[in-house]
Structure 1
Amino acid sequence: MTAPVTSPAIVGTESTIAPWRVCVAPMMDWTDRHCRYFHRLLSPRARLYTEMVTSAALVRGRQLRLLEHSQQEQPVALQLGGSDPHELAQAARFGAEAGYDEINLNVGCPSDRVQSGRFGACLMREPALVGDCMKAMRDAVSVPVTVKCRIGVDDQDDYAGLQHFTETMLEASVEVLVVHARKAWLQGLSPKENREIPPLDYERVYRLKREFPGLVVVINGGITTVEQVQAHLAQLDGVMLGRAAYHDPYLLAQVEASLYGEPLPSRAGVLQHMQPYIEAELARGTAFKHISRHLLGLYQGEPGARAFRRTLSEGAHLPGAGWALLEQALAPCSVAA
């Protein structure tokens, strides 16, 4: 299930670097395999996550095509959605066999569709069930099995609820907890509003790490700058970037440079390293628009950014669109530079 493309910009990294120090969040409709390949060029060390895949789709639907990814994306984690321990264990096995470095359980998504399937953020109310799911997955695979959760849901608005949830995860031998530092409202707010309206409470996550020092705690939510990443890493084991990394992907390169002291790659150079991947994907029948949509934010805040986005947006869906269109989109940026 791998694309036959190798890029000189993608270099394996040593396990001496904390695996969860910088992560890119699982984002539905966004972090597909093309997005992850692009993000890997910008950040060789970041831990990447798939879009959420339901255990039912893998086990009952046999949609194993959903596991397709490139080896060059690694380290990459598969995020699962579900609440049936047996089914999740089987889905985790499929993920591990496909080469994923981690299996992550979604206990944070508040959408109505996810709730109707009894998974996502509503599982914050059922820590014992989540514990059973984690035990089943841990018994099924040898790669790390982790949880992504909220600080609470609805009227669960005190630290005690998160503390109890965490204790239950530790009893299930969970070693890594990714915490979106907002609670979720299961009724009355859309998924978008749930990412913006409930207030951020970073201190609650910091407290969790102080009280459970042996647990790897990764924070997510509202993190948009290199300085914020550095501040959180002074208190926690890792930071997970979400929409900021998608809309302004060069942030990933800036974070990497700040943490590891490596030179920043040029935006144009990153795109040059995308060329063999794009051409290979076009040859296998992938439409250019499915790749180019992830590149739109690369020049965010830079001269020529608007023309770059417009050229790609208007031309990517046309027959024959490919690398030549990307070169055309780059022209205003090169002149501005």
Structure 2
Amino acid sequence: MTDVPRIAIDAMGGDSGPAVMVEGAALALARDPALRFRLYGDEAAIRAEVARHPGLADAAEIAHAPDVISGEDKPSQAIRRARTTSMGLAIAAVKAGEAQAAVSAGNTGALMAMAKLALRTMPGIDRPALAAMLPSLGDNDLVMLDLGANTECDARNLVQFAVMGAAYARAAMGIDAPRVRLLNIGTEELKGTDQLKDAAAQLRAADYLPIKFDGFIEADRLGRGEADVIVTDGFSGNIALKTMEGTARFVTDLLRRAFTSSLRSKAGFLISKPAMHLLRVHLDPNNHNGAVFLGLTGIVVKSHGGASAQGVAHAIGVAARLVANDLSRRIAEDLDTVRAHAATAGVAA
């Protein structure tokens, strides 16, 4: 365990800019008074928002950034402006050791490109992956990766994602040996691409890692609590994530329509209101906000652009928890184990 971290926040990212990002920091501070922040962006605008939240000023430094990355900026354009933008300076703070994690709700592609260039990938990782915790019917949330950083992946990439995802589950949820499964079109060993079959064979043989590999899983079982970590390529993972989010909205909208269709339905809503509240809380994306770029030498958390202050606070909490539980060290140790085993076996890691 390390000390409570200083979190660098891109205060200009997201749909609402400083108002929501600063309020999110204030909510996170209320939950954990030991947190400290560096807020990057328009100094005057940030200072005005900080003044609205008593107590935050003592826990936050403000660093002026004259420029902002927009949602339309291409990654190549963002990289050229890294030294003047709130997003680029937040990432630079992690690289310089001035902060232990960065949080941004800005342009995902730009954030990934700048983070990868500034922080580099860890030894033993070919490509960083985007991972997030999703709601599940199990005893804990579900870690899923990759969610869009890499559209095409080979078996080596998938095995590396499994190692990182399992370390994430251990750090974020305290699971000693996470159950890991590969997303596939069937659960039989003969189903799927050659890359999936090869990755499955390597993971079955990796009994030297703190991972319990449980084979393949189909998309209709993702939220059933049958795995702690789901591994897939970024193309399939992003589609699966958007499908889950869309289905959650469809169900809640359908229930809302059903409960307002008649007086009897409205009466039924009043009776079932406590259960509906639990459903809404469980499916609210703000309560699961905060995707992590795994495989970099520093921690960078992506908040959804439309997240509420509650969602931003959750993303900050994810960053703080991963730093406090030393996620980077856990991943590095597991990668060292993989390389040592490969060297003993006489194969390439």
Q: TM-score, normalised by structure 1?
A: 0.31
Structure number with greater Rg is 2
Q: TM-score, normalised by structure 2?
A: 0.30
Flag the structure with more relative contact order, 1 or 2, with Cα contacts below 8 A and sequence separation at least 6.
2
